[in-house]
A and B are shown apart, each in its own frame.
Chain A
Amino acid sequence: MSEAVETTVAEEEIDLAGANEILDHYVGMPGALMPVLQAIQEHYGYIPEPCVHLTAERLNVYCSQIYGVLTFYAQFHLEPRGKYIVRVCKGTACHVRGANRIGDTLQERLGIGHAETTADLKFTAEYVACIGACGMAPVIMVNDATYGSLTVQKMNEVIDKYVSMD
């Protein structure tokens, strides 16, 4: 029965070519699960369910086990994520310098709180503990770019910039 369910799920519109290519490198290698999942997330931006079934089949690991790993580590995401990941630092330094207001601004402008993604899949918000840039608190990261010494106004400008980008 479960196999039948797997099939219907696997038929969702996900191009598995990328995942298959990743798996080609790792099949038969012991301890391959973590690097495979990381590479799949890198490729798709998240871990689509059909990829879990494919990984289970090709690495001969139970689906349940993979799901256990995926839910254990915070780094894995089972839902599609935004093109721009906005990490709002809520570490001590940022907190005392107004990180909450920065977070609220993001919430007001984009309507997303922690771990939420906009419907157009453009932005995902993440409240994180210290990102190691306390000297420039309060600070956010958008993908790999860091924006420090933020005020509400500066935060709005950063958001404007990304909203206008593709």
Chain B
Amino acid sequence: MVNLTIDGKQITVSRTATIYEAALEAGINIPVLCYAKKLLPFGACRICLVQVEQMKGRLIPSCTTPVSEGMVVTTMSDEILKVRKTVLEFLLVNHVIECPVCDKGGECDLQELTYAHEVVTNRFQGEKFNLETDEVNPLIERNMNRCVLCGRCVRVCDEVVGYGSYSFINRGFETKIATAFDRGLNCEFCGQCVSMCPVGAILPRPFKFKARPWQLKEVDTVCGYCGNGCTVSLGVLDKKIETIRFNDKIGVNDGNLCIRGRFGYSYVNSEERLTTPLVRKNGQLVEASWDEALQVVADGFKQAQASLGILSGARLTNEELFLLKNLAKVAGTANLDHSGGECYKGVTEGLAGSLGIAASTGTFPQVEECEAILAIRSDFYETHPVFGMVVNQAVKRNEAQLWLVADKRGKFAKLPGAQNLLHRPGMELDVLNGLARVLLDEGLAQTEGVEGLAELKQALAEFGADQVATRTGVDAETLRVAARQLAAAKKSAILLAYGLPYTAYSRELGIAAANLAILVGIPGRAGSGLYLCGEKANSQGAIDLGIVPQTGGLGAQAMLDAAANGKLNALYVVGEDLLISYPDRGKVEKALEKVPFLVVQDIFLSSTAAKAHVVLPAASFAEKDGTFTNAERRIQRVRPGIPLPGQAKTDGTIIAALIEKLSGNLAFTGPAAIFAEIGRSVPAYATVSFNGIGPQGFVWGGEILTPSRRRLQPVGGAVPVEGTFQLLTGSALYHSGTVSTRAKGPQAVVAEAYVEFGREDAKALQLKDGDLVKVTGNGVELRLKAKVDNRLPKGVLFAPYHFAAAGINRLYKGEAAVSVTVSK
């Protein structure tokens, strides 16, 4: 610690603090422009100049100067004020004054500083730039005439996002911020630069001329897309979400968002939202009253009884999921499941069997401090982008060694020093087993108090580094080095994402990851963690609440099989578009066709809803009150920002109404009461009350979840996929599930399905971007547009699963990879 005096105040701060940070801690506010909490000190704007007794003769930039013992700092004097005013005058020489029509007006740092310093005239004159506004892309507008060259956008894109869109170009007066070759912005469109820009140089286009900042009502809630659980502050005007506001004060994401969170909100406002219940009459879905629709549903469920199947999505709140489970009980069925039923088994069967817990063991911020990180599947960045940014920072700022078990060269692979254990598609299991075997062979494994060691050793007989190398294509020596580094790191993390497009070997991967974690001593160790991250906003909640087959009940796939064979009398689908997002569309089609009574509850008339007998209009995340539990077990409050469209109701209200119809008992008692009820059957949720959930949420089980056991479970290898071309499916960064295909933001960037080729294959097949190709596999032929880049190794193809028309799931039946043929 260091002692210093600021404005006569005695202060003791950490030796790593800057003068600016020390002052802030002492409640003394120094004005800044280029400083941002989450970025490294830069010192570009010179607004934060202060006087330091020991450094007389010049003013000192407080944001880049570290504190030192005995320092005496003055933050305001006539001289400082004069210089700050001059700095502002300089900035205003070039900065165009368009405040009345600038969307930043009212929350512009330059405007506020100019006002605060009463800079009413300017002693200097110079040319204004007349640079063309970059509005090539639909999401982010860049007006560089307003830029003050603080470099926050350049730095955030590098330091946090790891994309590197921007750089300072040219020199002297000509200096400006531009993309490579000074072209229109063409990036991931996460909009971190938008949130960092202190002036109106970088703005969200969808928000242009929609509202003045002070007119907006801000509602803090949790993003409805992925399991990252980012806080989003809805900017609401006239009952409509107009933008997502920057908020780095609360939540787990430090103000960072991805394209989905920042620009993917518009589906909520969509004209296509369902606003009234629909009941099928004479083959047509026609509008009906709630009374009628609910009665038809209740009657149908009564008739079906134990032969009713309930399938849920993982974007319902915990309270709604709880009601859904109760509904199953009341309706007398044990057939309950969510998210396709297979993808989450790494947690419910893998982790639960190995560690006695069905959740990630750590929290995201701890990953930033890890020395070694093993990310399984390069797609991690694409499924949970903001957690990906945490990994970026761990690697870039704290020099964590990143190891990837991946079938692609994704963005993670480009991080400094990242080592990619690039394997043949679907062979993750073998690589993980290989790593475990190295740990055991070289005596690096932590085996104290670990069960099942002998069985695991026996099961790993075939997984020597060289054998694994032959099967997977990963270099044996690299595998050994990876295992040694993981074992040596005091703080390490293993990350694995799961979701609908990643169903193959889900259980086995969970086990293999847990085995590895146990062997390197991760579970229960401070700062280390095993992270199994669900695809959807409340995937973890669905597991915590047990939205899985009840005793004797059928799982999702078994329900579909039963339905297809005419053995299921009714199916109730809540918040999921099975036809598009489940593997094996053929099977889903048959099931939906054969099931005598289909009820779909959704916010859009999805493909699945279009086949229903009754459609119930539900609510989006932005209209709900309740809680989500994110992939690190953080229970966070979801708050309604806008009213429901038309007659739509929240899922909770609808489910409760059905319970009431079936049982005659009152079910909907409000989210707080239901949350308390959850605690009665899920002990982890009893440790906090609904209103006790603070701005940072509440992590059930604590920052480090201690496993109740450490049991190694033997797990076999994968079956290699044959054939010249192997197709992978998965999540694309710009989308999440199927809902994002109704959102203008993500759609503006990636509007349709594609099949991605590596450069080598593209060259051999003479393909270029946009060419139509025929991809045939599993007896199904698809025509898709080609996309060529450098992510994929030879023979590997990738197609995202979000798009209905493409029908990827006609071909993908839940395999790790599908052997396909390709022709033009």
Contact of A5 with B186 at beta-carbon distance under 8 Å, contacts A64-B166, A71-B170, A72-B169 already known: yes
A63 to chain B, nearest CB (A): 4
Q: Does residue B171 face the partner (Cβ distance < 8 Å to A)? A: yes
Residue numbers in A under 8 Å from B169 (CB-CB): 67-68, 71-72
Contact of A62 with B164 at beta-carbon distance under 8 Å, contacts A1-B187, A8-B768, A49-B181 already known: yes
In the complex the two chains form, is B180's CB within 8 Å of A7's CB? Answer: no
Contact of A4 with B787 at beta-carbon distance under 8 Å, contacts A62-B167, A67-B180, A71-B170 already known: yes
Question: B167 is contacted by which of A3, A4, A5, A65 (Cβ under 8 Å)?
Answer: A65
Residue numbers in A under 8 Å from B181 (CB-CB): 49, 52, 63, 67
Find residues 53-67 in chain A having any chain B CB closer than 8 Å to their own CB. 56-57, 60, 62-67
Q: How far is the CA of A71 from the CA of B167 in the complex (A)?
A: 11
Q: How far is the CA of A49 from the CA of B762 in the complex (A)?
A: 21
Q: Does residue B179 face the partner (Cβ distance < 8 Å to A)? A: yes
Residue numbers in A under 8 Å from B788 (CB-CB): 4, 7
Residue numbers in B under 8 Å from A143 (CB-CB): none
Residue numbers in B under 8 Å from A153 (CB-CB): none
In the complex the two chains form, is A57's CB within 8 Å of B187's CB? Answer: no
Q: Does residue A75 face the partner (Cβ distance < 8 Å to B)? A: no
B152 to chain A, nearest CB (A): 15
Contact of A63 with B180 at beta-carbon distance under 8 Å, contacts A4-B789, A7-B789 already known: yes
In the complex the two chains form, is A1's CB within 8 Å of B749's CB? Answer: yes
Q: Does residue A2 face the partner (Cβ distance < 8 Å to B)? A: yes
Question: B164 is contacted by which of A3, A4, A65, A71 (Cβ under 8 Å)?
Answer: A65
Residue numbers in B under 8 Å from A3 (CB-CB): 789-791
Residue numbers in A under 8 Å from B171 (CB-CB): 71-72
Residue numbers in B under 8 Å from A57 (CB-CB): 790
Question: A64 is contacted by which of B179, B414, B749, B768 (Cβ under 8 Å)?
Answer: B179
Residue numbers in B under 8 Å from A62 (CB-CB): 158, 163-165, 167, 180
Q: How far is the CA of A62 from the CA of B396 in the complex (A)?
A: 14
In the complex the two chains form, is B416's CB within 8 Å of A60's CB? Answer: yes
Residue numbers in A under 8 Å from B414 (CB-CB): 60
User: Residue of B at shortest CB range from A2?
Assistant: B186
In the complex the two chains form, is B187's CB within 8 Å of A2's CB? Answer: yes
A129 to chain B, nearest CB (A): 16
Q: Mostly helix, strand, loop or mixed at chain B's interface?
A: mixed
Most chain B beta-carbon contacts within 10 A, residue among A2, A63, A72? A2
B771 to chain A, nearest CB (A): 12
Residue numbers in B under 8 Å from A63 (CB-CB): 164, 180-181
How many A-B contacts if CB must be within 8 Å? Answer: 70
Contact with B along A1-18 (1 / 0, CB 8 A): 111111110010000000
Q: How far is the CA of A19 from the CA of B234 in the complex (A)?
A: 49
Contact with B along A122-149 (1 / 0, CB 8 A): 0000000000000000000000000000
Q: Count the A residues whose beta carbon is within 8 Å of the partner chain — how many?
A: 23
Residue numbers in B under 8 Å from A49 (CB-CB): 181
Contact of A68 with B167 at beta-carbon distance under 8 Å, contacts A7-B759, A7-B769, A8-B768 already known: yes
User: Residue of B at shortest CB range from A57?
Assistant: B790
A9 to chain B, nearest CB (A): 9
In the complex the two chains form, is A68's CB within 8 Å of B769's CB? Answer: no
Q: Does residue B182 face the partner (Cβ distance < 8 Å to A)? A: yes
Contact with B along A56-100 (1 / 0, CB 8 A): 110010111111100110000000000000000000000000000
Q: How far is the CA of A8 from the CA of B786 in the complex (A)?
A: 13
Contact with A along B751-764 (1 / 0, CB 8 A): 00000000100100
Residue numbers in A under 8 Å from B791 (CB-CB): 3
B787 to chain A, nearest CB (A): 6
Q: Does residue B293 face the partner (Cβ distance < 8 Å to A)? A: no
Q: How far is the CA of A121 from the CA of B179 in the complex (A)?
A: 28
User: Residue of B at shortest CB range from A7?
Assistant: B788
Find residues 451-501 in chain B having any chain A CB closer than 8 Å to their own CB. none
User: Residue of B at shortest CB range from A71?
Assistant: B169
Q: Does residue B72 face the partner (Cβ distance < 8 Å to A)? A: no
Residue numbers in B under 8 Å from A60 (CB-CB): 414, 416
Residue numbers in A under 8 Å from B179 (CB-CB): 64, 67
In the complex the two chains form, is A1's CB within 8 Å of B182's CB? Answer: no
Q: How far is the CA of A2 from the CA of B181 in the complex (A)?
A: 12
In the complex the two chains form, is A8's CB within 8 Å of B178's CB? Answer: no
Most chain B beta-carbon contacts within 10 A, residue among A5, A60, A64, A65? A64
Question: B180 is contacted by which of A1, A11, A66, A72 (Cβ under 8 Å)?
Answer: A66
Q: How far is the CA of A56 from the CA of B168 in the complex (A)?
A: 16
Q: How far is the CA of A68 from the CA of B149 in the complex (A)?
A: 14
B185 to chain A, nearest CB (A): 9
In the complex the two chains form, is A64's CB within 8 Å of B789's CB? Answer: no
A-B contact pairs, 26 of them (CB 8 A): A1-B749, A1-B750, A3-B791, A5-B186, A6-B789, A7-B769, A7-B788, A8-B768, A8-B769, A11-B768, A52-B180, A52-B181, A60-B416, A62-B163, A62-B167, A62-B180, A64-B164, A64-B167, A64-B179, A66-B180, A67-B169, A67-B179, A67-B181, A67-B182, A68-B169, A71-B170
User: Which 10 pairs show the lowest CB-CB distances between chains A and B?
Assistant: A62-B164, A68-B167, A63-B180, A3-B789, A64-B167, A71-B169, A64-B180, A67-B180, A2-B186, A71-B170
Q: Which residues of A contact B (CB under 8 A)?
A: 1-8, 11, 49, 52, 56-57, 60, 62-68, 71-72
Since A63-B164, A68-B169 are in contact, a sample of 13 more A-B pairs with Cβ atoms closer than 8 Å, ordered by chain A residue number, is A2-B165, A2-B187, A3-B791, A4-B789, A6-B789, A7-B762, A7-B769, A62-B164, A62-B167, A64-B166, A64-B179, A67-B180, A72-B168
